[in-house]
Structure 1
Amino acid sequence: MKIAMLQMQVIAGDIEGNTNKGLTLVNEAAAKADVIILPEIWTTGYALKNVAQTAETIDGPLITRLTGIARNNNVNIIAGSVPLRLNSRIYNSAVIIDRQGNRITSYEKVHLFSMYGEERFFSQGSKLGLLSLDKVAVGVGICYDLRFPELFRSLALQGAQAVFVPAEWPAARGHHWRTLVQARAIENHMYICAVNCVGEHKGSPFYGHSLLVDPEGVIVAEGGDHETIIYGELDPARVAEARKGMLSFADRRPDIYAD
């Protein structure tokens, strides 16, 4: 499974510019990848004060354009995350589209980043993002979710072989980024594909360094601090090998763990 990580520059509030750039990158990657992943809230950035007016809808023009690209190019798309209106609420949502242009599901961010006041703009998700792409069991998390190992362990216990994580991760905590991505991969014997943006928000730069990490914690592919498309290969057989070689799932003691 060939992965394309779209590490794009996101400019807060420039919805038209961000959207056009993101779609251009999606079209560029579509001929070379099986799965394309965009960053977190790549259309709006963290300019959220008008999110009630600018939120996308599941059948709106952006998602419709993405489903068309997926169908016309026979490619799966994890549409990063966008502010999405669902049942009169607005969520930080990742919409997943298959090769036929079907919207398989969406994942609504479970852990809202209180440090940036996300709870003022978004409702909290209440379900795991677990699905199948090309017969591979995959999960979805969004940015801050990386700090909650319980989420990734729950996905792994339900069969996920890889988890895709769109993000807007700052350079100020860049040293956490790679460590957390590798830790989630190692402890769950799965691939983690974490796609960050570049640029800045209110003078604070984003970290970039989107990366694909294998089930042993080895970095398969990693970007730098500039806008680019990073390609990497994901081999589900490596997950089975890692889980056979290290029996930590079988050795768990859920009977003594706290809730």
Structure 2
Amino acid sequence: MTPLRTALFQGPGGVPCSTGDSLAALDAAARRAALAGARLLLTSELYLTGYAVGDALPGLAEPADGPGAQSVAEIAAAHGLAIAYGYPERAGEALHNAVQLVGPGGDRLANYRKTHLFGAFETAWFTPGDEPVVQAEFDGVRLGLLICYDVEFPETVRAHALAGTELLLVPTALMRPYEIVAHTLLPARAWESQLYIAYANRCGPEGDFDFAGLSCLAAPDGTARARAGSGDDLVHADVDPGFLKASRAENTYLGDRRPGLYGSLVHD
């Protein structure tokens, strides 16, 4: 089983970028990632538009097959790698905080809408998604998609593990002072649910927010195989299906579950 080299793009930081600026930065990052041998590149939450866009959001949102998607597909095809990117999706009258996965041929592989919205900005503008597990197969690895706050709920990650997700892609906009999520929670989630988690954050001040950076790729042994700093960064590490299989054989959390005892967890 060939490892899947995965790159995490943390940037550009400091301002809410125009879509054109974001696409230019993505093209440069994809070129660097491909030269480093990456087959998959993950960006941050709402990457195309920036996060702190306020009431400009409705004018920036676009359909899943809109011009932004077409531009990302061209970048993916030009550099021969898959790209998962965050963007605001328009679906009729509804707006969704979404992540879309595009293959190295420019084909659309999956689209996920954030199910757990965070804070006043998101709850005011976005409609939460209602599909908890969205997956795609790529290079022999089963990929899953979540966004930021979603991964902070153990139920969402465990649902992916039980559905066979091997690498969970999580574009995020983690703000200060919640660095504990990147430092502690992500490796713990990867350990307790026995999968890899790629977590690509925004960085620096943006509007009223200050993003923490610290993007990481957490492995099923609870370690961070790659870790970004607090500024613009591009890091990468290998996702090894063979290592995951061995780890799941040794760490038997998933097989030792007793679902019959957990009914109260799904009742309000």
The TM-score by the shorter chain falls in which range? over 0.9
Q: Which has the higher contact order (CA 8 A, sep 6+)?
A: 2
- Cα displacement string for residues 113-166 of structure 1 (whole angstroms, at most 9, x for unaligned residues): 1x2331211111111222211121111111111211101100000101110111
Number of the residue aligned with 2:169: 164
Deviation for aligned residue 1:204: 4.3
1:248–1:97 Cα change, 3 Å: same
Q: Residues of 2 paired with 1:27 and 1:65: CA distance?
A: 15
Moved runs in structure 1, 4+ residues, more than 4 A? Answer: none
Number of the residue aligned with 2:27: 23
Q: Residues of 2 paired with 1:176 and 1:70: CA distance?
A: 30
Is the contact made by 1:211 and 1:221 (CA closer than 8 Å) also made in structure 2?
Answer: yes
**Corresponding letter in the other structure for 1:3:** T
Is the contact made by 1:186 and 1:215 (CA closer than 8 Å) also made in structure 2?
Answer: yes
Q: Residues of 1 paired with 2:78 and 2:209: CA distance?
A: 38
1:85 to 66, 86, 90: 90
1:71 equivalenced with 2:74 (yes/no): no
Is the contact made by 1:13 and 1:46 (CA closer than 8 Å) also made in structure 2?
Answer: no
**Corresponding letter in the other structure for 1:17:** D
Q: Residues of 2 paired with 1:207 and 1:146: CA distance?
A: 16
Q: Specify every segment of 5 or more residues in structure 1 that has no aligned partner in the other structure, as ranges.
A: none
RMSD: 1.6
- Cα displacement string for residues 194-234 of structure 1 (whole angstroms, at most 9, x for unaligned residues): 11111113454211111111111111110111101101111
1:6 to 5, 9, 28: 9
Number of the residue aligned with 1:206: 211
TM-score relative to the length of structure 2: 0.90
**Corresponding letter in the other structure for 1:7:** Q
Is the contact made by 1:212 and 1:232 (CA closer than 8 Å) also made in structure 2?
Answer: yes
Q: Residues of 2 paired with 1:237 and 1:87: CA distance?
A: 43
Q: Specify every segment of 5 or more residues in structure 2 that has no aligned partner in the other structure, as ranges.
A: none
Is the contact made by 2:30 and 2:79 (CA closer than 8 Å) also made in structure 1?
Answer: no
1:70–1:18 Cα change, 3 Å: closer
Deviation for aligned residue 1:66: 1.1
Q: Residues of 1 paired with 2:92 and 2:244: CA distance?
A: 37
1:210–1:202 Cα change, 3 Å: same
Q: Residues of 2 paired with 1:41 and 1:252: CA distance?
A: 35
* 3-state secondary structure, aligned to 2:109: strand
Q: Residues of 2 paired with 1:49 and 1:189: CA distance?
A: 40
Number of the residue aligned with 1:126: 130
Number of the residue aligned with 1:47: 53
* Aligned length in residues: 257
Number of the residue aligned with 1:239: 244
**Corresponding letter in the other structure for 1:22:** L
Provide the identity percentage: 27
Q: Which moved more, 1:187-196 or 1:12-21?
A: 12-21
Number of the residue aligned with 2:223: 218
Is the contact made by 2:202 and 2:213 (CA closer than 8 Å) also made in structure 1?
Answer: yes
* 3-state secondary structure, aligned to 1:171: coil
* 3-state secondary structure, aligned to 1:173: coil
